[in-house]
Amino acid sequence: MWLLDQWAERHILDAQKSGEFDNLPGTGEPLQLEDDSHIPEALRAGYRLLKNAGCLPPELVQRKEAVELMDLLNGIRQDDPRYQELSRRLTLLELKLRQAGLNTDFLRGEYVDRLLQKMNEG
């Protein structure tokens, strides 16, 4: 064990003995670990930093925009003048996502509603 590791471990044990970790928020509750196995190991720390800072990776921004466009399209009639423009934008986004190797099935079916709700919560 490196000297720095030993020093840190000693301070952690001292803090535990003195009760500094008692009554912390979430004490006794299971950890809420996120599954980041789909993210390459070299990118995980960076993605976690971006997420904690409230930033999304470009792919997720495009996915969110595509879901919002689909929602707008579902809310207007096909003879509305805006429909064609929104439809073109959605088609372009779908193409970009597919070119990036991402699946666009999330734009079809009830999954869209759940995904949009989850994005709005975060």
Instruction: Tell me the pLDDT tens digit for each residue of 62-76.
Output: 888 988 898 888 888
Instruction: Tell me the pLDDT tens digit for each residue of 12-47.
Output: 999 999 998 888 888 888 877 777 777 788 888 888
Tokens in use for 31? 């950890």
- Does residue 26 contact residue 53 with C-beta atoms inside 8 Å? no
- Does residue 50 contact residue 57 with C-beta atoms inside 8 Å? yes
Answer whether residue 106 shows pLDDT above 80: no
Confidence of residue 118 (pLDDT cuts 50, 70, 90): confident
